[in-house]
Structure 1
Amino acid sequence: MRAYELIRRKRDGEKLSAEELEWLVFSYLEGEVPDYQMAAWLMAVYFRGLDVEETAHLTGAMVRTGQLLDLSGIPGIKVDKHSTGGVGDKTTLVLAPWLAAAGLKVAKMSGRGLGHTGGTIDKLESIPGFRAELTVEDFLNQLEAVGVAITSQSYALVPADRKLYALRDVTATVESVPLIAASVMSKKLALRTDALVLDVKVGKGALAKDLKMARELASLMVDIGKRAGRKVRAVISDMEKPLGRAVGNALEVEEAIATLQGNGPEDLVELCLFLGSQLMELAGLAESEKEAREKLKRVWEEGRAWEKFKEWVKAQGGKVEAVENPSLLPQAPEELVIASPSAGFVEAVDALAIGEAARILGAGRERKEDPIDPAVGVILEAKVGDWVEEGAPLARLRVREKGVEEAKALVAQAFTLGNQPPPPKPLIYEVVS
């Protein structure tokens, strides 16, 4: 086979076979296909697309470039949850211990943040001592003993995805539905859980800017999962505005703690309940969404989810005293208030602008190798639908010295005020199964 022919055929809209896609992926990983040819092929896919079969074959080839993490030796039902990325999305920090306390085994590989979206690993590493890189042996032992284990992506699992994503990131081919689906699902299929729920974000702060793209991505990932014999559902949820009030690593850990203790923002609690109920149903621990929600609420109200969170943090080396007393989490030296220029109802809060502001302050990365500041970020004092008086705080910025003026301007511009309360918009749009 020749890379030139596969580039030309995909450029012309032709379908590639499983054997051709496997050859291309392995040849690129081994250095036989150079970056410039793979970049040309990725751009051809960006414009011409891949059908469902091609995407499934590409995903399978990527999985086979690395190890498979078999969890079948661990008793219990193993589950995973994945989000396509958003602003203020600390759902995993709340939901993983919550589900573990309800009787499931939560096994997850998570990533670091890039651009305006935060990464679960960065958030967890803002807890002093937390160890995000687990060996396979430690991961399996902790999953069995504690019921929840989250690790950063292993170099041994799906190495093709790591190399391909880095190339997509510098060739403007990230926003391709089949390439996103193959990237996400290759990591999910390499970790052999029994059930998977995908949280597909849609809106300004998400990869999918509109419902058409979100539905296409959700359907494609569900199809790939089912072809591989997995129980999988996708939930399409809102990312026009940030989730919760906190945006920034230690700030989001603090909000997750408050949520587990019963004091979290309404939208975060509802999303966790909805995603959790989907997994409880898929796993067979509840016969309906209503029954699943009731079981999860009981676990939450009895404090078992909060206790499981502390057990999980301790197991991965984190200082439990820092989560019991969040003032021991990283703290920024200065706080700035963004005041409302007039009285009115908050009609919109631009998630992308808030995420960019947090990144500029140091909470996120522009490049994968950039360091982050776990203490900085944005706290929303006003949410969509709230009435604010002139001069009242819209948001608070936790800052050091980096990017303060630019971040202030972005946060101020993110709020739209009006004379009438805005019509309610759904947090959950639909479930794709």
Structure 2
Amino acid sequence: MYDIILKKRNGGALTRQEIQFWVNGFVQDTIPDYQVAALLMAVFFQGLTPQETVYLTEAMIDSGEKLDLTHLPGTKADKHSTGGVGDKTTLVLAPLVASAGITMAKMSGRGLGHTGGTLDKLESIPGFHTDLSPEQFIGNVKNIGISVVGQTSNLVPADKKIYALRDVSATVDSVPLIAASVMSKKLAAGADVIVLDVKCGSGAFMKTPAQAEHLARMMVNIGRNMGKKVAAVISNMEQPLGYAVGNALEVKEAIHVLQGKGPKDIREICLYLAGEIFLLAGKVDNIHQGKTMAGELLDQGLALRKFREFVQAQGSNGGVVDDDKLLPEAKYRFSLVSEQDGFITKMETEAIGRAAMILGAGREKMGDLVDPGVGIVFYKKMGDWVNKGDTLAMIHANEEDKADKAKNILAQSIFLDKEQKQGDALIYGVITS
């Protein structure tokens, strides 16, 4: 291990055998964490070649079980988002894709920090369970073409150990380590087609389109090298997606989109992601046809019908589809009122996510409990004109002191100007190679 650390410290490229050696040794506790931490820091400064990143991904996948979906009929698809504020796309996209006859057997995560987790959102639906047995998971996929569960402890155990060490050794924001972490879990989950939603902006891990493109190309390269059909959509996270931030509030908004209503930006990104999946799966010839097909499935109510089947199959009675008041609600409402006139020109989206976390909609560390009813609903977004006294957002809270803290953060997170600023497009582009 000393030789491997030295080689990488000096800028050398590690072989497949060297990478397998240290990953296996770390998982099996034959290599101490202080040596792996030293190697991770060397990787942070020296980077990994594209081939090294593929080798690392392979070694992480091989550290545990793999989900075998080959016996299921048709194309199996998966989607991953690098995380954002108000990002409820999976709630719309999964039933939308399944309604087209493409299997969505998805393993998702919980929220940590300012980004929300799909499992937390789904579990705000009364009766919904994400802790299905493998038999229930596969059964739902066979019967209705869709299931979403938490990642099993035996899937890519190397990623859990390496991430925990990255978290305490200041090596989280290494692009090749991020790429290997994401793709090891996606590839171990058995999908044929993978679409990645790589967020960039103030509410995302990648702050600029160039950074997002670098990560996207690396992840697509890994997937393609391992025989999968992969595309990455680079999307804007300079403001929350939709208007709602918070678990039950986001479920409500997602249902509105499935009903053919709801915010235009959520609908647009879901149509684009679905269109890319349909294109990779061979159902259409180009992205325009894919988006058109996805729009028809939404407008005809087929995606909503699939969402009802989905929540019923995972323990709910499906009543939230018809009555969103069945979702948990917070006790209090507090208005954030504008103190001046002007156009909204900037939203510090990461700070907005932090405000939602303080309310209880997210968790500061793993193990923290999430309050499903709390959150923030915005009334205005970037580019909108605001009069003094207008309500910018409504804070949904169960504790007044937390609401005060969140309100102070939000008041400093929204910037107004007399001149309107032209915002960036929602979709920056797509990476396929």
Regarding TM over 0.5, the answer is yes
CA contact (8 A) 2:76 2:104 kept: yes
Of 50-59 and 101-110, more deviation after overlay is shown by 101-110
Q: Secondary structure at the match of 2:430?
A: strand
2:67 matched residue in structure 1: 69
- AA at the equivalent of 2:96: W
Displacement of 1:50 after TM fit? 0.8
Q: Secondary structure at the match of 1:70?
A: coil
CA separation in 2, counterparts of 1:261 and 1:404?
31
CA contact (8 A) 1:338 1:395 kept: yes
CA contact (8 A) 1:130 1:317 kept: yes
CA contact (8 A) 1:323 1:329 kept: no
2:347 matched residue in structure 1: 349
State yes or no: 1:295 paired with 2:293. Answer: yes
CA contact (8 A) 1:80 1:106 kept: yes
1:122 matched residue in structure 2: 120
CA separation in 1, counterparts of 2:349 and 2:215?
20
Displacement of 1:5 after TM fit? 2.0
1:267 matched residue in structure 2: 265
CA contact (8 A) 1:127 1:319 kept: no
2:252 matched residue in structure 1: 254
2:424 matched residue in structure 1: 425
CA separation in 2, counterparts of 1:221 and 1:350?
27
State yes or no: 1:306 paired with 2:288. Answer: no
Displacement of 1:192 after TM fit? 1.6
What residue ranges of structure 2 are gaps of 5+ in the alignment? none
- AA at the equivalent of 1:49: G
Q: Secondary structure at the match of 2:360?
A: helix
CA separation in 1, counterparts of 2:426 and 2:115?
18
CA separation in 1, counterparts of 2:6 and 2:186?
31
2:240 matched residue in structure 1: 242
Displacement of 1:72 after TM fit? 1.2
CA separation in 1, counterparts of 2:394 and 2:49?
46
2:188 matched residue in structure 1: 190
Q: Secondary structure at the match of 1:275?
A: helix
Of 412-421 and 173-182, more deviation after overlay is shown by 412-421
Displacement of 1:295 after TM fit? 1.5
CA separation in 2, counterparts of 1:210 and 1:424?
14
Of 165-174 and 239-248, more deviation after overlay is shown by 165-174
State yes or no: 1:131 paired with 2:129. Answer: yes
CA separation in 1, counterparts of 2:62 and 2:38?
23
State yes or no: 1:212 paired with 2:210. Answer: yes
- AA at the equivalent of 1:60: E
Q: Deviations over 1:372-427 (max 9, x none)?
A: 11111111110111111111010111112252222111111111111122113111
Displacement of 1:78 after TM fit? 0.8
1:49 matched residue in structure 2: 47
State yes or no: 1:10 paired with 2:8. Answer: yes
Q: Secondary structure at the match of 2:149?
A: strand
Q: Give the CA RMSD over aligned residues.
A: 1.1
2:163 matched residue in structure 1: 165
Displacement of 1:132 after TM fit? 0.6
Q: Secondary structure at the match of 2:77?
A: strand
Q: Secondary structure at the match of 2:388?
A: coil
Report the TM-score when normalising by structure 2.
0.98
CA separation in 2, counterparts of 1:116 and 1:225?
28
Displacement of 1:134 after TM fit? 2.1
- AA at the equivalent of 1:54: E
Q: Deviations over 1:310-344 (max 9, x none)?
A: 10000011231234311111111101100011111
CA contact (8 A) 2:334 2:403 kept: no
CA separation in 2, counterparts of 1:108 and 1:253?
18
1:82 matched residue in structure 2: 80
Q: Secondary structure at the match of 2:239?
A: coil
CA separation in 2, counterparts of 1:369 and 1:37?
28
Q: Deviations over 1:252-284 (max 9, x none)?
A: 111101110111101111000011101101101
CA separation in 2, counterparts of 1:358 and 1:170?
24
CA separation in 2, counterparts of 1:160 and 1:29?
6
Q: Deviations over 1:73-117 (max 9, x none)?
A: 111111111100000000000010011112211121100001000
CA separation in 1, counterparts of 2:221 and 2:58?
13
CA contact (8 A) 1:346 1:421 kept: yes
- AA at the equivalent of 1:384: M
1:315 matched residue in structure 2: 313
CA separation in 1, counterparts of 2:173 and 2:405?
26
Of 398-407 and 155-164, more deviation after overlay is shown by 398-407
CA separation in 1, counterparts of 2:430 and 2:229?
14
1:142 matched residue in structure 2: 140
What residue ranges of structure 1 are gaps of 5+ in the alignment? none
1:359 matched residue in structure 2: 357
CA contact (8 A) 2:361 2:374 kept: yes
2:333 matched residue in structure 1: 335
Identity %: 51
- AA at the equivalent of 1:17: T
Of 51-60 and 296-305, more deviation after overlay is shown by 296-305
CA separation in 2, counterparts of 1:282 and 1:228?
16
Of 110-119 and 132-141, more deviation after overlay is shown by 132-141
Displacement of 1:204 after TM fit? 1.1
For these two proteins, the number of residue pairs brought into alignment is 431
Q: Secondary structure at the match of 1:318?
A: coil
Q: Secondary structure at the match of 1:201?
A: strand
CA separation in 1, counterparts of 2:292 and 2:8?
50
CA separation in 1, counterparts of 2:273 and 2:92?
11
Report the TM-score when normalising by structure 1.
0.98
Displacement of 1:302 after TM fit? 1.1
CA contact (8 A) 1:381 1:394 kept: yes
CA contact (8 A) 2:95 2:306 kept: yes
2:110 matched residue in structure 1: 112
Q: Deviations over 1:178-228 (max 9, x none)?
A: 000000000011012111110000111111111221111000000000000
Of 112-121 and 8-17, more deviation after overlay is shown by 8-17
Q: Secondary structure at the match of 1:360?
A: helix
